[in-house]
């Protein structure tokens, strides 16, 4: 059998080299994108929502028909009524920015591809790769190069959304009749004249279809982009999913639907030649003039506001003291709605960290930011917990919490569905006995970080610690392929524990085990409803306090499988800050 190609190592080496040698370029790109998104967001937030809705209604009537006007006005009035106006405008700014970048880059690439067979042969497989690679894969390099926030969200959206513009531009030009091209050449047209007077006008409908798809794909990335700190309506959807707030998730999702339909209809109608001629030939030409005047007023006002205050957060950036400025007034967090994020938000109130901002994202994005900061010896504050492999890999320390906002040490509990003890006594007894230490868990986490698969790491640990496995399984009767379902959250600690449980249950006790990786809310709901047999990933009493309060009468708590767990604010050891109270100095 051939040895495995070290592809992952090559990719990480390439990313590291780019981060080290192209950091200045990435910073410049980030600054430009951040200002462009800030400009559009400020532009859309400049007028009163009702005035902005009126302007959108006039534009909808000018380029479409009465149904589009009614839908636009009613849809955005609903968004304002539900309280998602600011988030929707921030999302619109992100979508417009990523769409513009995709169009500015995509159309020239499509033209080049159409006129050069060599270029097409090179670009086409790259586009295949971009369209088929899962969108989540783009998040980590985007965070590594551009930190958390709206910028990596735009970059990931562009990579994900640009292929349709390139492909449809290529297709549109290739579909131009050969006779027309020959006629243009016969009349002495230059290459540029042929492009702008023959090819592009005839290819425009096909190109606009590609641009429309690019805009829709950009919008589809808003929820994924919220996992790396891009604020907007996507963050509201992500937060609702994480907290199992079905109604709130539906409301936020409805705002995305309204925005998607309006953008789709606007982009479809804006460049319909027949429709434009009909509008211009009819008496209401004044509608277009009035709409243009309103739009010009909006743009001029947005530019004026942008020049006076380039960034909505810049006024606060210099507040909070010297310590805050060293950290850019940011605390890097994880999933919105998680227990540690709620505790951190409360800590910011308790310690009066009014000038600080808690950045939402994911645990993966947070550790990527930590790795980047440590390599550059830059100060950073993150929401941390133990056990976690980062405490083994890096020299980290917790900030003292004199007000005890994060409480005392936590525990990781095993919870089971009602009736598991009667139906699956062997599995129930094993899960009840399962207890281990942070140091033991750390061995598996470090092995996984070193390149082993979670399954291999769990198997190696169980082989090495036969005495512990026998302690958990002693005297238990082996079953014959009975099915068992476990669930866990995608934290490194829970990946380690669940894979170990799955290995022991299968190899030692004969169970056919299925492990489901879900968010914390669905994890608890699954056990409470009986769809999942058990989970060893319940952090109590603080992190999963809301879920315990809601489901404690619907599940059975088998007690802690690990004690001495801790959560809080964490910094690298080289950071000269020792307490949360120091953050305002």
Task: Quote the tokens at residue 463.
Answer: 């082989």
What CATH fold (topology level) applies to the domain 330-407+573-584? Answer: D-Maltodextrin-Binding Protein; domain 2 (3.40.190)
Nearest-angstrom CA–CA distance, 164 and 154: 17
**Sequence-separated (6 or more) residues with CB below 8 Å from residue 495:** 445, 448, 454, 488, 517
φ/ψ region of 389 (left if φ > 0, alpha if ψ in -120 to 50, else beta) reads: alpha
DSSP string, 484-497: EEEEEES-HHHHHH
Give the pLDDT confidence score for residue 513 in this predicted structure.
93
DSSP string, 377-443: T----EEEEES-THHHHS-EEEPB-TT-TT-S-EEEEEEEETTHHHH-HHHHHHHHH----HHHHHH
CA-based Rg of the chain, rounded to a whole angstrom?
A: 28
CA 46, chain centre distance (Å): 27
Give the pLDDT confidence score for residue 269 in this predicted structure.
78
What is the pairing mode between strands 330-332 and 512-518? Answer: unpaired
Query: Three-state SS for 38?
Result: helix
CATH code assigned to 410-564: 3.10.105.10
> Going residue by residue through the chain (585 aa), what tens digit of pLDDT does each one get?
567 777 777 777 887 777 777 777 888 888 888 888 888 888 888 778 888 888 888 788 777 778 888 999 999 999 999 888 988 898 888 888 988 999 999 999 999 998 888 999 999 999 888 888 877 777 777 777 777 778 888 888 888 889 999 999 999 888 888 788 778 777 777 778 888 888 888 888 888 888 888 888 888 887 777 777 777 888 788 777 766 677 888 888 888 889 888 888 888 777 664 444 444 445 456 556 655 666 665 666 556 655 665 444 444 444 556 777 888 888 998 877 677 888 898 899 988 888 888 888 778 788 888 888 888 888 999 998 888 888 888 899 999 989 888 877 788 999 999 999 999 999 999 999 999 998 899 899 888 887 788 999 999 999 999 999 999 999 998 999 899 999 998 888 899 999 999 999 999 999 999 999 888 888 998 999 999 999 999 988 888 888 898 899 999 999 999 998 888 999 999 988 889 988 887
The interaxial angle of helices 150-161 and 23-45, nearest 10 deg, is: 90
Residue 575: C-alpha distances to residues 256, 490, 567 (Å): 41, 29, 19
What is the pairing mode between strands 483-489 and 512-518? Answer: parallel
CB atoms within 10 A of CB 254: 16
Residue ranges per structural domain of the chain: 22-271, 330-407+573-584, 410-564
Task: Quote the tokens at residue 549.
Answer: 């309060």
DSSP 5: P
Nearest to 251 by CA among 273, 276, 233: 233
Nearest-angstrom CA–CA distance, 219 and 396: 38
542 neighbors 339 (Cβ within 8 angstroms) = yes
CB atoms within 10 A of CB 550: 15
Nearest to 381 by CA among 583, 170, 97, 129: 583
Query: Three-state SS for 16?
Result: helix
Question: pTM value?
Answer: 0.69
Q: State yes or no: cis peptide before 541, omega within 30 of 0.
A: yes
Instruction: List, in sequence order, every beta strand (DSSP E) within 91-169.
Output: none
Q: Identify the CATH assignment for 22-271 out of 1.10.3720.10, 1.20.1600.10, 1.10.8.60, 1.10.10.10.
A: 1.10.3720.10
What is the pairing mode between strands 357-359 and 330-332? Answer: parallel
Query: Three-state SS for 297?
Result: helix
């Amino acid at each position: 059998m051939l040895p495995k190609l070290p592809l992952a190592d090559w990719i990480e080496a390439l990313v590291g080299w780019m981060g080290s040698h192209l950091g200045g370029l990435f910073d410049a790109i980030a600054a430009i994108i951040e200002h462009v998104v800030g400009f559009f967001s400020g532009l859309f937030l400049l007028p009163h929502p009702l005035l902005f809705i009126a302007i959108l209604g006039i534009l909808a009537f000018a380029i479409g028909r009465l149904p589009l006007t009614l839908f636009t006005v009613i849809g955005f009035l609903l968004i304002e009524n539900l309280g998602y106006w600011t988030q929707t405008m921030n999302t619109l700014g992100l979508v417009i920015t990523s769409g513009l970048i995709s169009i500015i880059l995509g159309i020239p690439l499509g033209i080049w591809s159409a006129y050069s067979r060599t270029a097409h042969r090179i670009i086409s497989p790259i586009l295949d790769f971009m369209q088929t690679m899962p969108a989540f894969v783009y998040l980590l390099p985007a965070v590594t190069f551009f930190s958390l926030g709206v910028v990596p969200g735009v970059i990931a959206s562009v990579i994900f959304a640009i292929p349709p513009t390139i492909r449809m531009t290529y297709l549109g030009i290739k579909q131009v009749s050969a006779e027309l091209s020959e006629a243009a050449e016969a009349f002495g047209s230059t290459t540029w004249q042929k492009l702008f007077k023959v090819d592009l006008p005839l290819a425009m409908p096909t190109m606009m279809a590609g641009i429309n798809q690019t805009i829709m794909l950009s919008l589809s990335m808003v929820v994924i982009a919220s996992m790396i700190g891009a604020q907007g309506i996507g963050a509201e959807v992500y937060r609702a999913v994480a907290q199992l707030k079905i109604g709130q998730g539906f409301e936020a999702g409805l705002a995305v639907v309204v925005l998607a339909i309006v953008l789709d209809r606007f982009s479809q109608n804006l460049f319909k030649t027949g429709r434009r001629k009909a509008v211009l030939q009819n008496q209401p030409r004044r509608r277009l003039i009035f709409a243009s005047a309103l739009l010009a007023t909006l743009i001029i006002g947005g530019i004026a506001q942008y020049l006076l205050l380039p960034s909505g957060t810049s006024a606060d950036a210099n507040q909070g003291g010297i310590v805050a400025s060293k950290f850019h007034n940011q605390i890097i967090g994880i999933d919105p709605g998680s227990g540690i994020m709620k505790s951190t938000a409360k800590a910011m109130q308790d310690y009066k960290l009014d000038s600080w901002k808690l950045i939402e994202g994911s645990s993966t994005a947070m550790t990527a930011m930590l790795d980047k900061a440590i390599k550059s010896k830059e100060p950073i504050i993150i929401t941390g917990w133990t056990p976690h492999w980062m405490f083994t890999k890096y020299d980290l320390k917790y900030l003292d919490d004199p007000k005890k906002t994060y409480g005392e040490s936590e525990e990781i509990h095993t919870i089971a569905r009602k009736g598991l003890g009667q139906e699956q006594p062997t599995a129930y007894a094993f899960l009840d006995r399962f207890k281990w230490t942070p140091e033991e868990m750390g061995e598996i986490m470090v092995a996984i970080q070193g390149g082993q698969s979670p399954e291999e790491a769990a198997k190696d640990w169980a082989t090495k610690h036969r005495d512990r496995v026998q302690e958990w399984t002693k005297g238990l009767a082996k079953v014959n392929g009975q099915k068992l379902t476990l669930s866990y959250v995608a934290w490194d600690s829970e990946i380690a524990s669940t894979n170990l449980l799955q290995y022991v249950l299968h190899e030692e006790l004969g169970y056919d085990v299925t492990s489901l990786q879900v968010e914390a809310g669905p994890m608890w709901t699954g056990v409470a409803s009986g769809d999942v047999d058990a989970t060893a990933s319940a952090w109590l009493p603080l992190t999963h306090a809301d879920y315990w309060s809601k489901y404690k009468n619907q599940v059975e708590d088998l007690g802690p499988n690990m004690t001495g767990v801790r959560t809080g604010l964490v910094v690298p050891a080289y950071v000269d800050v020792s307490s949360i109270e120091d953050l305002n100095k």
